[in-house]
Amino acid sequence: MGQTHQTENCEEIDVKVIQDMYKKFVMECPSGLLFLHEFKRFFGVDPTGEASDYAENMFRAFDRNGDNTIDFLEFVAATNLVFRGDLEHKLRWSFKVYDKDSNGFVDREELRSIINSLYRIKQGIKTDMGEPQLTADEVADRILRAVDSDGDGHINLEEFIRGAQEDPWVLNMLQLDMNPAGWMLEQRRRSTHF
């Protein structure tokens, strides 16, 4: 019974956060379109700060139709996925964040770039296995070795999902990017206008 109540409270908090974000979206973007610079301002991201690259990748993943804007529908759909999606949906969304050139594959450089952005945001990632902190290059190489089943140097969506689901370390590393809800909440707390 206590767990059910706790789950309901989490859902209520999520709904409240989503409602607050939607209200801010309507106030700041009465045209119904959110551009990248507005997206960064919306979450209180310094355009030249450590979260800037990550915000740009999130923006691109939210922009489902590729028109360089986020409309109300894209915002609501993405926010709902971020807060409530199941693991596979979050992995699919995460893949879009990693696939910066949208070619359907994540290569070593794309992987390293996102990991490096996350390192700058999080001030370093510690593994839960008592290992010393790995560099972004070491993490990218290790993920490629674990996930790139055909050895072509690229990770397709199926390899990405299967690798994350089968290897707890890989999932843990990819979850850093799959936790946009935490990032959004942290940016919301930091922002003085939210």
Considering the domain architecture, whether residues 114 and 174 belong to the same structural domain is answered as yes
In this predicted model, what pLDDT tens digit does every residue of 63-102 receive, in sequence order?
Answer: 888 899 998 888 878 777 766 778 888 888 888 888 888 8
The residue segments making up the domain with residue 21 are 2-85+182-190
We report the CATH number of the domain holding residue 167 as 1.10.238.10
Q: How many domains does the chain have?
A: 2
**pLDDT range class, residue 117, cuts 50, 70, 90:** confident
Q: Are 155 and 114 in contact (CB under 8 A)?
A: no
Considering the domain architecture, whether residues 171 and 186 belong to the same structural domain is answered as no
Considering the domain architecture, whether residues 68 and 131 belong to the same structural domain is answered as no
- Neighbouring C-beta atoms of residue 12, cutoff 10 Å: 10
Cα(7)–Cα(90) distance, integer angstroms: 19
In this predicted model, what pLDDT tens digit does every residue of 9-50 receive, in sequence order?
Answer: 344 446 777 777 778 778 878 888 989 988 887 777 777 776
Q: Give the chain's mean pLDDT.
A: 76
Question: Is the full-model pTM beyond 0.75?
Answer: no
Considering the domain architecture, whether residues 81 and 97 belong to the same structural domain is answered as no
Cα(187)–Cα(44) distance, integer angstroms: 6
Considering the domain architecture, whether residues 95 and 105 belong to the same structural domain is answered as yes
Q: Residue 71 in 3-state DSSP?
A: strand
Considering the domain architecture, whether residues 143 and 125 belong to the same structural domain is answered as yes
**Which long-range CB contacts under 8 A does 51-56 form with residues at least 24 apart?**
51/121, 51/183, 51/187, 53/113, 53/117, 53/120, 54/114, 54/117, 54/118, 54/121, 54/183
The encoded tokens of residue 42 equal: 């919306």
